[in-house]
Structure 1
Amino acid sequence: MQLLDKHKSMDSMVELLELYEEEDQAYRGLLEASTQLYQYLLQPFRDMRELAMLRRQQIKISMDNDYLGPRRIEALKKEDTDWQKKAQEAVLSIQEFTVKYFEITARAQKGVYERMKVDQRKYGKSSWTAAVERMERLRYSVAKETLQLQRAREISLEQRKHTLREEMQSLCSSEDAMALLDHMETQYYELQLQLYDIQAEILQCEELLLTAQLDSIRRQMMGMIIQFVYYL
């Protein structure tokens, strides 16, 4: 009876491994589609960023080399400020889409890994050996995708801080400006606190990534030791 149960378990594991292969293919399809959509959504903002950088460069050359009157210089300065703002908005949009992209990939990868952990509880240790390598790979991928997500969030917060700091520096000294400056300083410190939280999570993700690698290496070494002892 025990032998029959063991054969059933092995047959079930074979079917599960086939299902895992189909799941991996589906995930690769999702990743490819998400990447294509991400690139498509980013292109207009990349074009705007490049256009803004080109126009600001042309303005600088014109102001450095052309003989211009005060009004023309003032108009070019205003135009340069406008293009700078457009470039910053484009960069912020690019970073927001980058965060959303990694949110999708990290969530999908974590979902696959969590389902596999549920499957693991249904099998004995010997039967589950065939699936251990995939589970280790998923564990590593979850840590890696989550780390990329947190780093994307960190870059986004840093850019928002940079943009806010430039806006504060450009304020004129007036009563309304001082009130606005107080509000912007509060926003700046709130962004800094969020950044500290993200940086702490990045350290945790890096630790999880290293732990996953170390556990995988230990398992492989143990397997080599057992194989070596077996052939002695």
Structure 2
Amino acid sequence: MSRFWGEPVELWLTPAGCALRAGADTVHLPTTGAEPAWPAALAAHLPARARVLARVDDRWVRYLVCRWPTAIRGRKEREAWLAHQFRQVHGLADADWVMCRDADPAAAAFVACALPRALVEALQAVVRQARGRLVSLTGAFVARYNALARQLDAGDGALALTDGGRLTLGVWRDGQWTALLSRALGEGDALAAWRELTPLCVTGEAAPAGVLFHAGTVLTAPEGWTTRAVAIAA
């Protein structure tokens, strides 16, 4: 891969290492020991002055679906409120996690994610060393959902991604996010999405009927739902 690159560089961080995609070129950098070995491998291959779009494997990410309370105003208040939500739901300490979200959705529900601070700081250091710029940082589910959006119905549905022994499931109703969760997935567990969606149908977070889009393992949907496979570009 060229040491100088004008187009954005897509970076995927996984427990197996990392992958860099720039244009038609992809470089896979496996981890040879403990997980923290990836920064050194990345530093040796990241093009200089690259604009980096980083995607982090969902096993390192904690997700929430949120909607701003009307009383919350200003960036600092929103950051404090969001950190409080992650503490309440996931028990995350502010000092150890970095919260990320889409740019200011006013009234709509939105997806927020929390990433380990040590991972984020290590990534920022590598990009800075290459005189590059980290222009986006998010969880793998969000990146893949955005890539698949044209294949998905906007009404009532869910997207289930199974990768590396993990299920990440995002649910929407009337075109609005209602839930996003990530769980360890047992080998051959076709009922994992059914177990997660069924109680959400009872609470109303999921519709009584919808489409379960899935990429990876073929999954069973609750009664009244249909399933549809979607393909993620290599």
Shorter-chain TM-score category? under 0.3
TM-score (norm 2): 0.20
Question: Which of the two has greater helix per residue?
Answer: 1
Q: Which has the higher contact order (CA 8 A, sep 6+)?
A: 1
**Structure number having the greater strand percentage:** 2
TM-score where L is the length of structure 1: 0.20
